[in-house]
Amino acid sequence: MADANVKAAALEEKEPFFGKKERKALSDPLNDNNPITVQVLGICSALAVTTMVKPAFIMALSVIFVTAFSNLAIALLRKGIPKQIRMIVQLVVIAFLVTVVEQVLKAFNYETWKQLSVFIGLIITNCIVMGRLEAYAMANTPWRSFLDGIGNGAGYGVILLAVAVIRELFGRGSVAGFKIIGSTNEFLLNTSQISWLGWYQNNGLMVLPASAIFLIGIIIWLQRASNKKLVDVS
């Protein structure tokens, strides 16, 4: 048994620091295994926090942090966690990291914290985080699990930001607070002074959560149209 453990440790040491498996763990969630558009996880927050780019960006960073470091922690502890209480341990780790995120955000950006407070807390129950701990961190090395956490958090964040940009632009005429199109001089494109834009009105539907459902559905359709191997993925 001791010899087998020594051999396994030697094999792990020989694996490259950033080899094919590491690149796959980091890049797959951005497209082929995206947590929102392929795994269909984390939809609730995608509907609720994407009315504007700034809160969506903060939410994306929060999920990346929690997913990456919870994966790392569980991968480090996995051999010492009894199977009977593994999910309790996972929840404790996630809850600790979410509390850190919440307190930091509350201290440095109170207004954004007020917007996201409920949804930051709900990261604890986010299927993406728990899913990666069970499916990946419990069976892989700490470094690879850390990369998988970053990749899945980033895959989630990319969709959040894409939806938020479209919703804020067409719903409010701005992106990240920068005023682009509207009917006053404070906007880059003043529709009251540009004749060919006189028809434009901000779309009130885009500020409602229902619009995120349509947009995510369109993104899923476009992704499957361009990536044929996802066509049969349910």
Contacts (Cβ under 8 Å, ≥6 apart) of 116: 49, 55, 58, 59, 62, 105
The pLDDT confidence band at residue 5, using thresholds 50, 70 and 90, is low
What pLDDT sits at residue 166? 95
Whether 119 shows a pLDDT value over 90: the answer reads no
The pLDDT confidence band at residue 197, using thresholds 50, 70 and 90, is confident
The pLDDT confidence band at residue 89, using thresholds 50, 70 and 90, is very high
Q: Which residue has the higher pLDDT, 197 or 34?
A: 34
CA gap 11, 234 in Å, rounded:
36
Contacts (Cβ under 8 Å, ≥6 apart) of 231: 224
CA gap 181, 197 in Å, rounded:
9
pTM above 0.75, yes or no: yes
| Mean pLDDT score, 23-41 | 91
Q: Running DSSP on this structure, what letter comes out for residue 175?
A: E
Give the domain ranges of the chain.
43-230
CA gap 209, 205 in Å, rounded:
8
Give the model confidence (pLDDT) of 215-226 as tens digits: 999 999 999 988
Contacts (Cβ under 8 Å, ≥6 apart) of 7: none
Q: Which helix (H) or strand (E) holds 105?
A: helix 86-108
